[in-house]
Amino acid sequence: MHCPALLVAAPASGQGKTTVVAALARLHRRLGRRVRVFKCGPDFLDPQIHAIAAGSPCENIDFRMCGEADARWRLVRAAADADLILIEGVMGLHDGEPSAAELARRLGVPMLLVLDASAMAGSFGAVAWGLKHYRADSGGGAPIEAVLANRVGSDYHAQLCRDTLPPDIAWRGALPREIDAALPERHLGLLPAAEIADLDARIERMADALATTPAAELPPAVEFAVVPAPTFEPALAGKTIAVARDPAFCFHYPANLECLEMLGARLAYFSPLNDATPPACDAIWLPGGYPELHGPRLAANRAMAATLAAHVEAGRPLLAECGGMMACFDALESGDGEAHAMFGLLPGRSRMQKRLGGLGLLAVELPEGRLQGHAFHYSLSETPQAPLLHATRADGREGEAVYRRRRLTASYMHLYFPSNPQATAAIFV
The enclosing H or E element of 151 equals: strand 144-152
Neighbour tally for 191: CB within 10 Å:
18
**End-to-end C-alpha distance for the chain, whole angstroms:** 37
List residues bridging with 223 in a β-sheet.
2
**Do the Cβ atoms of 269 and 245 come closer than 8 Å?**
yes
**Do the Cβ atoms of 282 and 305 come closer than 8 Å?**
no
| Spatial separation of the C-alpha atoms in residues 164 and 115, rounded to whole Å | 13
Of residues 394, 361, 325, the one with CA closest to residue 42: 361
Q: Which residue out of 58, 281, 322, 328 is catalytically annotated?
A: 322
Of residues 390, 389, 329, 394, the one with CA closest to residue 360: 394
According to DSSP H, which parts of 195-348 are helical?
Answer: 199-210, 254-262, 295-300, 302-313, 323-328
Cβ-based neighbours of 239, under 8 Å, separated by 6 or more? 264, 265, 266, 282, 283, 428, 429
Query: Does 322 participate in catalysis according to the annotation?
Result: yes
Neighbour tally for 269: CB within 10 Å:
15
Within 155-215, strands assigned E span 170-176, 185-186, 189-190
| Spatial separation of the C-alpha atoms in residues 286 and 298, rounded to whole Å | 13
Compute the half-sphere exposure of residue 10: CA atoms within 13 Å on the CB side of its CA.
20
DSSP letter (8 states) at residue 99: B
Q: Which residues are catalytically annotated?
A: 322
